[in-house]
Every structure is written in C-alpha cells, then in structure tokens.
C-alpha cells in the first residue's frame, strides 16, 4: 500500500535534482542557453512551492486518493511533453508548469494518507521512514541516475523514465484506500490560495536570485528592460522580491483571520500556528532540508569544480549519504518504539553536525576519496533519522480534520528550506571563491553546521513524547 506513495515521493525528488547534470546537452539540442534552462528549473521549484498549500487543501474537497491520482496524471503529461519538446518554451510548459502543478497535487496526499491510515506513532514512523528514504534517495541519486541516463540514452530518456514510473504508480495506486474527511467538503478559499501562492512565489524567487545577485551588495546590474534600476554594488535586488512576498503573506494571514471571524472556511486555520510542538517540528523540518540540499549542493560543486569529477562520479561519491538515509529511515519504526521522537530529532542533528565537522576536518583539495565517506555517511544517517521523526511529530500533532492543512504547510516549509539551503551556500561559495584551496568549501560547510546546531536547539525544545501521544 505504501509502495505507490514512496515511488511518487521518489520521482518528485528526482525531478528536482536530475536536471542539473543535463543542462549542457539540453541547451545544445534545443538551441537555447544555459541561463534559459536554469530559469526553467527555477520555475519548477517556484510552481511546486507556491501551489503546495492550495493543492493540499484540495485533498479535503476532492478526496485524498483522487487528488493523488490527478497529480500523477498532470505530472505524467508534463513529463511526456518535456520528453518530446522541440523548444525551450514547450519544455518549460511540460517540466516547469505541469510537473510543478502535478507535484503540488500529489505530494500532500502522500503524508495525509499515511497519517490517517496508521493511528500509532511507531507504525507511522515505519512508513514515514520509507517515504523519507524515498525522498532522500531521489534527491541524492537524481544527479547520478540523470547523469547515467543522459550519457547513455540522451536527456529525453530521463523524462521518458519519469513517464514510465508515473504509469506504474497509477496502476499500483488503484488499490489504495480512500478515507475521506468527516463532514461536508469545505469551500475553496480562492483569495487565500492566490495570496499564499503569490507570497511564497516572491519569497522563493528572491531567495533563488541570490545565485545571481548575492545577499547584500548586488554582484550585477539589476535592469528592467533597458533601464538599470540597481547598479552593481548597490543593495541586492533580492530584498525587493522577499519584502514583496512577506507583505503578501502578511495580507494572507490577515485574510485568514478575517475569513475565520466571518464564519467562512479559510485556506488554512490559524490554530495550526498555535501548536508549539508542531511549530518546533516545522522549524526542525525546514533546517533539515536546508542542511541536506545545501550539503549536496556545496559538495557537488566542490568535487566537480575543484576536484574535476564528472556528474556520474559526483553521484557515486554521494552514495555514502544516500546509504545512510536509507539505513536510518528503514530503522525508523524500531527507533520510534524505543525512543521519543524528539530525541531522535536531537540525535539526528548531532550525527549530522559531527558529519559536517569531519568533512571540514578531513576533506582537502587533493585529499583521498575516502576522506568524504565518514562525514557523508554520518550526515545521511542523521538526516534519515530526523526527517522521519520531524514529519511524524508535525503530522501527529493534529487530528484527521486538519491533515489537509498541515500537510500542505509542512511541504511548503520543506521547499523553503531546500531553496534557502542551496541559495545560501551558493552565495557563500561565490563570496569565498577567491580563498585558497578548500577554504570556500569549509566556509560553506561551516555555515550549514551553524544551522544544524540551531536545529539541535529546536529539537531539544520539542515537548516530550507524552505530549505528542496526548494529541493523537
């Protein structure tokens, strides 16, 4: 029963990371630019992140299984269009728009179905472990699988592979149960959906622009048309977009409050933000994805740009982290039976922090390959343990009636963490690029280590297991 859910999470995570290794081949084939393809990848992330909350709300209106199946269908059509695309525009419609919309529809039901079908924390931990392992495997193995497929069969085959996997999931998903929420289906808050999507779009867009303009002083002229709005060296234009997104999100929260006071159904209930356990769990979840994606990004850049490794070799070198995620995710149920969820989060951050310390201490510009292994393995083990536990803490903090809301919110903060992680370390690498040897790598890993320690503190503050069980 969990297999189609895990496969869907795997393919969504794979789609977010495999494109990077095929950019040059696609640009040559479609006679476009690398910048254009990077824009398409960015748009995929923006579409998925912006629509996750509205997509999750639709599970309460259309049903969990129906929303999951519809998302798979939209995703599959998008992958098929991208596979046969004759131009960048067509590929953007298929990959960036349709796959992004499909992901926003199919990912929230994955976590909702596990939560409502399995009432006890330990059993949920087992299946959340399977799904977290699939998410980590897709993210980590995306460059390796994408590199192998692109090198041997061509970049279009990577999209064909996604179509085949989606078709398999659709067949497997026919046997999934379809527990519907109690009571009448709520109305869809269209204004709230537009505000949440627009706010998240501009925040994530601003974060992603740090790769071009940096965080503080703008590294390039910011132009609108042919007019230079902010010259090179001025305040980075990313803050325009982040501030605009923050203002729209403030408007969104004011709209939610007004909607609730009027007795209407909001897109999100404000009570979700009053649960201390869930808030801390969302905080650890955000930092976990920030650390995971940030680490994979900085290590990939280092071993390709400094060490000269190919895309395939890069994927192979990240294998210890992938194995660590799979091992610790697979042990999630046994760990949940023996230890409180919050201490698993704490242990995960401890392991991850130790792994980062080992990478900083052992890895050098010309060090042996084995110097990467201990740190990557510990990072993988730590992330696998705490991803499962944080999801379990957040989802289990609310009754079935709120699962549609909290699932979308949970997936949104995960996307924010992933986007912020890669943008942050990318900026650090650029800022420290003039430093000798592996100093830029060490600086970026040091920043991620600092965030990991913040996550450790948040994990310690999560209430004890009895508090979690009382909410089930």
Distance (Å, whole) CA 62 – CA 218: 45
Would you tell me how many other CB atoms lie within 10 Å of the CB of residue 183?
Answer: 8
Give me the tens of pLDDT residue by residue for the chain, a chain 472 residues long. 788 888 898 888 887 777 766 777 788 888 887 667 767 877 887 788 788 888 888 888 888 888 899 999 999 999 999 999 898 899 889 998 999 899 889 888 888 888 777 777 667 777 777 787 787 777 767 777 777 787 788 888 888 989 999 999 999 888 887 776 666 667 888 898 899 888 888 887 887 777 778 777 787 888 877 777 888 878 888 888 889 999 999 999 999 899 988 888 888 888 888 888 888 888 888 888 888 878 877 787 777 777 777 666 776 787 888 788 878 877 766 776 777 778 888 999 999 999 999 988 888 877 888 888 999 999 988 888 887 788 778 877 777 777 767 877 787 777 777 777 777 777 677 666 555 556 777 888 888 899 999 999 998 888 865 444 434 3
pLDDT at 246: 92
Please indicate, yes or no, whether the overall pTM of this predicted structure exceeds 0.85: no
Buried b (16+ CB within 10 A) or exposed e, 28-58: eebebeeebbbbbbbbbbbbbbbbbbbbbbb
- Do 45 and 419 touch, CB atoms closer than 8 A? yes
E-state strands within 179-284? 222-224, 227-230
User: In sequence order, what DSSP letters do the residues of 135-162 get, joined into one string?
Assistant: HHHHHHHHHHHHHHHHHHT-HHHHHHHH
Handedness of CA 356, 206, 210, 105 (dihedral sign): positive
What pLDDT does 150 receive? 76
| The predicted structure's pLDDT at residue 469 | 42
Domain 3-178+267-470, CATH 3.40.50.300 — does that match?
no
Nearest one of 339, 454, 319, 447 to 385, comparing CA atoms: 339
Query: What are the extents of the domains in the chain?
Result: 3-178+267-470, 189-266
E strands along 267-370, which residues? Answer: none
Question: Where do the DSSP E strands lie in 195-252?
Answer: 222-224, 227-230
DSSP classification of residue 217? B
3-state secondary structure of 29: helix
403-431 vs 276-301: helix crossing angle, rounded to 10:
40
How many other CB atoms are found less than 10 A from the CB of residue 153? 12
Residue 235: φ, ψ to 5°: -65, 135
Per-residue pLDDT at 163: 92
Distance CA 370, CA 83 (A): 38
In the DSSP assignment, the letter for residue 307 is S
From residue 26, alpha-carbon distances to 82, 152, 212, 374 in Å are 11, 14, 21, 35
Secondary structure (3-state) at 227: strand
CA 346 to chain centre: 21
Alpha-carbon span 166 to 103, nearest angstrom = 12
């Amino acid at each position: 029963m969990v297999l189609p859910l895990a496969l869907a999470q795997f393919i969504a995570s794979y789609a977010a990371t495999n494109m990077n290794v095929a950019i040059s081949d696609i640009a040559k084939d479609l006679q476009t630019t690398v910048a254009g393809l990077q824009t398409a990848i960015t748009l995929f992330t923006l579409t998925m992140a912006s629509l996750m909350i509205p997509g999750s709300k639709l599970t309460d209106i259309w049903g969990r299984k129906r929303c999951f199946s519809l998302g798979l269908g939209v995703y599959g059509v998008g992958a098929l269009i991208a596979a046969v695309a004759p131009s960048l525009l067509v590929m953007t419609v298929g990959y960036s728009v349709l796959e992004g919309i499909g992901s926003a529809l199919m990912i929230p039901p994955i976590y909702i179905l596990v939560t409502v079908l399995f009432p006890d924390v330990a059993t949920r931990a087992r299946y959340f472990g399977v799904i977290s392992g699939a998410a980590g495997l897709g993210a980590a193995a995306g460059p390796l699988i994408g590199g192998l497929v692109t090198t041997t069969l061509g970049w279009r085959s990577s999209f064909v592979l996604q179509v085949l996997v989606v078709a398999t999931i659709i067949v497997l998903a026919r046997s999934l149960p379809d527990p519907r929420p109690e009571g009448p289906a709520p109305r869809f808050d269209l204004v709230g959906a537009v505000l949440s999507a627009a706010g998240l779009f501009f925040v994530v867009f601003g974060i992603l622009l740090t790769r071009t303009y940096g965080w503080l002083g703008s590294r390039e002229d910011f132009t609108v048309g042919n007019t230079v709005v902010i010259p090179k060296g001025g305040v980075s234009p990313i803050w325009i977009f982040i501030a605009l997104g923050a203002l729209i999100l403030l408007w969104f929260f004011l709209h939610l409050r007004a909607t609730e006071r009027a007795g209407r159904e909001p897109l999100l209930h404000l009570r979700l933000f009053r649960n201390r356990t869930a808030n801390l769990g969302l905080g650890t979840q955000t930092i976990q994805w920030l650390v995971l994606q940030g680490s994979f990004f900085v290590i990939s850049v280092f071993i390709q740009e400094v060490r000269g490794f190919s895309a395939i070799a890069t994927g192979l070198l990240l294998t210890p982290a992938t194995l660590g995620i799979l091992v610790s995710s697979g042990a999630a149920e046994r760990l949940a039976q023996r230890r409180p969820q919050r201490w698993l989060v704490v242990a995960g951050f401890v392991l991850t922090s130790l792994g980062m310390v080992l990478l900083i201490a052992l890895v050098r510009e010309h060090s042996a390959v084995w110097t990467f292994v201990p740190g990557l393995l510990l990072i993988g083990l730590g992330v696998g343990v705490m991803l499962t536990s944080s999801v379990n803490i957040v989802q289990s903090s609310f009754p079935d009636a709120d699962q549609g809301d909290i699932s979308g919110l949970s997936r949104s903060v995960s996307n924010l963490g992933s986007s912020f992680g890669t943008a942050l370390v990318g900026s650090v690498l650029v800022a420290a690029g003039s430093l000798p040897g592996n100093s830029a790598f060490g600086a970026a890993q040091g920043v991620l280590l600092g965030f990991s320690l913040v996550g450790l503190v948040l994990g310690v503050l999560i209430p004890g297991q009895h508090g979690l069980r009382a909410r089930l």
